[in-house]
Each structure stands twice: as structure tokens, then as C-alpha cells.
Amino acid sequence: MIAVYYVTLFLFPGIVFCGLSNYSFPDDFQFGVATASYQVEGGWNEGGRTESIWDYELHKNPNITDDRSNGDIACDSYHKWKEDIQLVQNLGVDFYRFSISWSRLLPSASKGSELSKDGVMYYNKIIDELIARKIVPYITIFHWDTPQSLEFNGGWLNETIIEDYIYYARTLFDLYGDRVKHWITFNEPHQTCEQGYSTGEKAPFKKMQGTADYLCYHHMAISHGRIYRIYETDYKPTQKGQIGITIDSVFGAPKTNSDSDKQAAADYMDFQYGWFAHPILSGNYPAKMIAKIADLSKQQGLAKSRLPEFTQEEIKMINGSFDFLGLNHYTTILSSYGGNYPVPSHRNDMGTVDFRDPSWKPSAADWLWEVPWGLRQLLVYVKDHYNNPPVLITENGWANRGKYLQDLDRIDYINSYLSEVLKAIHEDGCKVIGYTAWSLLDNFEWTYGYTMKFGLVYVDFDSQNRTRIPRDSYDVYKNIISNKRL
């Protein structure tokens, strides 16, 4: 299969190869591949596992997903985990990023609740197998699958979840920290908080714009900071691991060269990336966000700002709470002031509207266009605004539909984005420590169900066996890893 790629490369080098960087990846650069529990595991009620918000909502209303599917079986990684690890190993990556299902490990989920023996064993097997095969486990503690029992209590809008989360994370360090040295506290808090509680596009499908989104992240940021400090004092001295958080960002470039569009793009970055990153990298929310939301809240007749305030102690505790910074990045937009949004809402607070250049290549997903230079500019943005922190790209990938084993579009995407990573490292001095392809497998792509494919490996969801077949992009990525160049 990969022959097709190389034949195309030979016949039409311009298509596949245009302007790729000749630099090599540094010797200590780490390559990885990722999945997440609800998207691949299945086994939704095995070993005492209880429902997460996704199980609950999709069991209640199958029409939420494009193909009326859910994650009950998904890729069946609950049973096929060994085969998955074999695929990870054959790819030659340094690490495997996967997440733990909170309600599999702690079926009652709340602080002080009991462990599921099967849950504990399931992740033990995976961790031990990875280590035996010299693959470093990177564990995401929370990847969108809040236990439904906690959601009944308000989920991320109720501050009691902070203690529940801390108990859960501590449990992970106690159980697995002797072997797991890389932890990611949250995956894309932006999506849980905005799409989960504000625009209602993802579970728990709540729509409380411009208030619940801010409250949700406030609680996540505090949970993140607290668990970072707990790990630092109680675990790091003996376990010697590292903790980070994964923040996603679209890159916002100005629509034109005008000062107004440049300012709009700066606001977009503050409201969309800074909201999540600033408290951790610099202390507190971006000043612009604090001032603008306070001002608009006043105009809306509210006694106080819709953006919650951190105490001075919280600001200090959260500031600097990372050993590496996870970055999920897929695409870019062009920004200008304007737009008609509900009042109040985060979008209205931000006050900008998104455009796309018609020359950009669209993927099958309605939010993903191929704009490789945006990744380089985003890396430079992070370096310039936040003192060049060590950045681990924890996700990057391309969406298409169908079986499509000769996935030249995904190959082109991976090559062109990695080429920009090389330039960011060698020409801009960005401290990028690694790259993670999303995803190892086609999997449950949230409200798209199984219609949207991100896998380096195709999965046949019609077969009982969930047969896995590597696509051409799997071989191309494997070659990049082994050569450390494009």
C-alpha cells in the first residue's frame, strides 16, 4: 500500500513533497500516538463500570450522533488492548497517550469511593505491557468522560467536583505512579467547558452561555493547580514524574494587515487560548478578558463579572503548575471584529468573527482545514507570550470518511504540519519536545459517531472483531519516526 505513496512521490513530487523541511528532529524529540477511553474502549458496563456523561446522553437519545451510534463497543479496546499495543509498537513510537475512564476505575466516582478491581487490572495490564515493550505511557487523567453520577450533582459547575477529581487523580498516582511518569491532568478543557456547558454541542449538552463555560474552567483550573501541587509535594520526590495539561488551540491570524484585524486576532488568542493557558503559564486570566467581561457584565446589569475571580492564593498556586505544556492543534482561522452572537456568550465577549481562506484544503470535518503554517505561528505565539515553555504536541491529525486505506490527504497533512514543527524548532527556537498523531485508530468521534475517521489504522466497525488495518499514513509516520526526518 505504501508503494502508492512512494510512486506518487516519484511521479508528482510537487504534490506530496512541496517545500518540506530538510531539518532533522532533535535526538531527544519524542514521537507518540494517542487515543482516549470513551472513544476506543467499549466495555461500557463491564467490570462494574458506570455511565459517563456520554454513555448516559447517548443511551437516552441515540439521535445525537450522525449514525445513531455510541461508545458501548467502540473499537473494543477493552478486549483488544494487546492488539492495539502491538500496533503502537510496530509504529515505532516512543510513547502512547491514552486516557483512563474515571467511572471504570471508581464506579461511584466521588471522593472516598471504592475502586473497581477489574478497572484497576485493566489499566495495570496496559501499563505493564507498554513498559515491557519499551513504550512510555502518557496518561490523560480526564478526557471528557465525566462520571454521570457527578454530573447529576452539577458536574464541573459544582465546586465539589474539585475534591472528587483530586481523589481520583491521587488514586491514579497511588496505583500506577510507580510506573507512569507522565500525566496530563485535563484534555482540552476548552471543549468540555464551551461545547459541554455553553453551546451544547457535546455532553452534557448544557446551554448556559457566557456563565457556565467560565465557571466550568474556573473549577478545572483550580483542580489542575491543586493536583499539580499535591503531586509536587507528595509524589514527585519518590515517583519523579512530570505533570502537564493539554490545551487546544486553533491559531487565529488577522484577516488582513489592518490594525483592527491584528487586534481582533490578538483578542481571539486571548479569549480562546489565553483563557486556559494564561492562569497556568502567567497567573490569572488574560487582562483583556478580565476587563472586557467585567465591563460587558456591568452593561448587562449584573452586579459582578460573569468571569469568576481567582483569589491571590489560587493565582499563585496555579501559576507555573506544569512540567510540560500539552498542545492540541488542528487548524487555523482568520479573525476580524464583528459577528452576531447571543448575549451573553463567550463569543459575544470575544467580539470576533472567523473566516477561512478559500484556497485552504478542507477535510471531511466542518471545522478542520489544512493550514500548516498556522502550527508554526502558534508555536511561536506560545514561545513569545509565555517564555518558551517545553511544548508537547499532544494531538494533531486529519479527518476523512470511508475506508480509504491510501490516505494521501492525511499523509500530506502530517508531512506539512511536521515540516512546520521542524522550522519552529530550528529557525524560531521553539522548545517543542514531541509530537503525537491523533489517532492510532478510527474511533468514536463524538457527535460524528463513527462517520469521521482520524485513524492511522482503519477499523471495520461492521465486523464483530473490529478488524484493524493500517493505512498508508501509518507506514509514512513510521518512516518519519525511524529516520527522524521527513
Cell of 461: 466497525
Contact set for ligand NOJ, span 94-123 (CB under 6 A): none
Closest CA to 155 of 290, 40, 57: 57
Taking CB under 6 A as the rule, which mask of x and - marks residues 377-416 in contact with ligand NOJ? ------------------x---------------------
Which CB, 261 or 442, lies closer to ligand NOJ? 442
Alpha-carbon separation of residue 235 from 131, 173, 227, 242 (angstroms): 20, 8, 11, 10
Looking at the Cβ atoms of 151 and 188, the one nearer to ligand NOJ is 188
For 388: left if phi > 0, alpha if psi spans -120 to 50, otherwise beta; the answer is left
Query: Smaller CB distance to ligand NOJ: residue 16 or 452?
Result: 452
Judge if the upstream peptide bond of residue 344 is cis by omega within 30 degrees of 0.
Answer: yes
Least distance from ligand NOJ to the Cβ atom of residue 143, Å: 6
Smallest distance from ligand NOJ to CB 463, Å: 22
CB 123 within 8 A of CB 140: no
Which residue from 51, 55, 57, 188 is in contact with ligand NOJ, where contact means CB under 6 A? Answer: 188
Residue partners of 233: CB distance under 8 A and separation at least 6: none
**Cβ atoms 201, 193 nearer than 8 A:** no
CB nearer ligand NOJ, residue 228 or residue 330: 330
C-beta of 36: minimal distance to ligand NOJ in Å? 5
CB of 356 to ligand NOJ, least distance (A): 17
Residue 370 binds ligand NOJ, judged by CB under 6 A? no
Q: List the one residue from 69, 77, 101, 187 that touches ligand NOJ (CB under 6 A).
A: 187
Q: What's the min distance (Å) between Cβ of 35 and ligand NOJ? A: 9
| Contacts for 417 with CB less than 8 Å, ≥ 6 apart | 372, 375, 396
Of the pair 194, 445, the CB lying nearest ligand NOJ is at 445
Place of cell 532533535: 26
36 sits near ligand NOJ (criterion: CB under 6 A):
yes
CB 385 to ligand NOJ: min, Å: 22
**Best CA proximity match to 371, nearest among 285, 261, 202, 249:** 249
Does 145 bind ligand NOJ (CB under 6 A)? Our answer is: no
Per rule CB under 6 A, count of chain residues that contact ligand NOJ: 9
Q: How far is CA 202 from CA 53, 55, 197, 348, 471, in A?
A: 10, 12, 8, 20, 29
Q: Which of 271, 273, 381, 438 binds ligand NOJ (CB under 6 A)?
A: 438
State how far the Cα of 105 lies from the Cα of 86, in Å rounded to an integer. 24
| N-terminal to C-terminal alpha carbon distance within the chain | 19
Residue among 423 and 466 whose Cβ is closer to ligand NOJ:
466
Contact (CB, 8 A) for 472 and 2 = yes
* Shortest separation between residue 221's beta carbon and ligand NOJ, angstroms: 18
Phi and psi at 402, nearest 5°, equal: 85, -175
Whichever of 35 and 148 has its CB closer to ligand NOJ, that residue is 35
| Closest separation in Å from C-beta 74 to ligand NOJ | 12
Residues with catalytic roles: 188, 395
Distance CA 284, CA 218 (A): 10
Is the CB of 25 or the CB of 458 nearer to ligand NOJ? 458
- The continuous run of DSSP H or E covering 432 comes out as strand 432-438
**For residue 206, what is its C-alpha cell?**
448544557
Pairing of strands 352-355, 242-248: unpaired
Binders of ligand NOJ among 301-360, rule CB under 6 A? 328
Cβ atoms 455, 469 nearer than 8 A: no
**Shortest Cβ 328–ligand NOJ spacing (Å):** 6
Phi, psi of 276 (to 5 degrees): -90, -35
Q: Which C-beta is closer to ligand NOJ: that of 20 or that of 452? A: 452
Angle, to 10 degrees, between the axis of helix 408-426 and the axis of helix 472-483? 20
Selected binder of ligand NOJ within 213, 261, 420, 445 (CB under 6 A): 445
- Which residues from 451-480 bind ligand NOJ, rule CB under 6 A? 454
Contacts of ligand NOJ in 192-231 (CB under 6 A): none
Distance CA 408, CA 177 (A): 40
Those residues with Cβ within 8 angstroms of residue 51's Cβ, 6 or more apart along the chain or in another chain: 44, 59, 103, 147, 148
Give the footprint of ligand NOJ on this chain (CB under 6 A).
36, 39, 187-188, 328, 395, 438, 445, 454
